[in-house]
Amino acid sequence: MTRPNNQTTVIVAHQFETLEQQFDADLLGMWLFLVTEALLFSGAFLALAVYYHQYYDTFSAAARELHWLLAGFNSVILLTSGLAVALAEQAADQHRRRLTLWWLSATIALGVAFLGLKGYEYYMEYRAGLVPFLDQPFAFSGPDPHNAMLFYNFYFAITGLHALHMIIGLMVLLVMLVLTYRWREGARVARQVRIAGLYWAFVDIVWVLVYCSLYLLGR
């Protein structure tokens, strides 16, 4: 019973010829998946743009009720988590297990902090009576409250969809944490962290779009 201790031994999945081929294929697969994700969000953004054009004043007034400073601070947290995951990728690439673990944990902590703050924001909007569904009283004081409801519907639908992606991303990162902790094979861990990091970066970038197109309307 000897365990293979040679770190350079790499196992290529049976359908591939070389490790490079496998890495290229995995990466291309993730990029394609991100294309589909971008298109998923694009439908919602398109609808928002159409209505924003149609109800310019109402949507701008409704958007001013959102907590843009708090969300701005939250954006900084999320983008910092993007930096952390990039550093985790680099550390995994250099086969530095401890450092990878550290940066992955930092990414997850920042992601959880983001979700916590987002939840607090939702709570404040609930208190202010800006939740136009689930039979909540709607207390928007600006003009044209009916169309303003439409704006808040978008706000909750789009940020909710983004939060769902965050949760999926966090779960992926947790799996990465476990895989890094076990460290079966350096090249494999590096590949997996790289691909998970790509997904996390995408979730970051979508947030930048969400922030610009919801919070900064009419400012």
Partner 1 sequence: MNYLNAGYGLKSWLLTLDHKRVAWLYFISITGFFFLGGAAATLVRLELITPAGDLLSSDAYNQMFSLHGIVMVWFFLIPSIPATMGNFLLPLMLGARDMAFPRLNLMSWYVFILGGAFTLTAVIAGGIDTGWTFYTPYSTMFSNGAVLAAATGVFIVGFSSILTGINFIVTTHKMRAPGLTWFRLPLFVWAQYATSLIMVLATPVLSITLVLLGVERAFGIGIFDPALGGDPILFEHLFWFYSHPAVYIMLLPAMGVVSEVIACFAHKRIFGYKVMAFSILAIALFGFLVWGHHMFVSGQSIYAGVAFSLLSFLVSVPSALKIFNWLATLYKGHIRFDAPMLFALSFIGLFLIGGLTGVFVATLALDIQMHDTYFVVAHFHYIMVGGMVSAYMAGLHFWWPKITGRLYPEMWARVSAIIVFAGFNLTFFPQFILGWAGMPRRYHAYAEEFQLLNVFSSAGAGMLAVGYLLPLLYLLWSLRYGARAGGNPWDARGLEWTVASPPPKETFATVPRVDSEAYAYDTPQ
Binding residues vs partner 1 (CB under 8 A): 14-17, 21, 24-25, 28-29, 32-33, 35-44, 46-47, 50-51, 54-55, 132-134, 146-147, 149-150, 153-154, 156-157, 161
The nearer residue to partner 1, 27 or 106, going by C-beta atoms, is 27
The span from the CA of 14 to the CA of 122, in Å, is: 48
Please report where in the chains the tokens 């909710």 appear, as a residue: 160
CA distances from 113 to 32, 146, 158, 166 (A): 29, 33, 19, 11
DSSP assignment of 89-115: HHHHHTT-HHHHHHHHHHHHHHHHHHH
The nearer residue to partner 1, 123 or 133, going by C-beta atoms, is 133
Please report where in the chains the tokens 């800006």 appear, as a residue: 130
> Least distance in Å: CB of 155 to partner 1?
10
Report whether 56 contacts 64 (CB < 8 A). no
> Least distance in Å: CB of 64 to partner 1?
19
Report whether 88 contacts 197 (CB < 8 A). yes
Task: Determine the distance from the C-alpha atom of residue 15 to the mean position of all C-alpha atoms in its chain, rounded to a whole number.
Answer: 31
> Least distance in Å: CB of 17 to partner 1?
7
The nearer residue to partner 1, 77 or 172, going by C-beta atoms, is 172
The nearer residue to partner 1, 102 or 156, going by C-beta atoms, is 156
Task: Determine the distance from the C-alpha atom of residue 207 to the mean position of all C-alpha atoms in its chain, rounded to a whole number.
Answer: 7
Task: Determine the distance from the C-alpha atom of residue 177 to the mean position of all C-alpha atoms in its chain, rounded to a whole number.
Answer: 17
The nearer residue to partner 1, 24 or 116, going by C-beta atoms, is 24
Report whether 186 contacts 177 (CB < 8 A). no
The nearer residue to partner 1, 23 or 211, going by C-beta atoms, is 23
> Least distance in Å: CB of 51 to partner 1?
7
> Least distance in Å: CB of 109 to partner 1?
30
> Least distance in Å: CB of 206 to partner 1?
13
Kindly report the backbone phi and psi dihedral angles of residue 17, in degrees, each rounded to the nearest multiple of 5, phi listed first. Answer: -90, -45
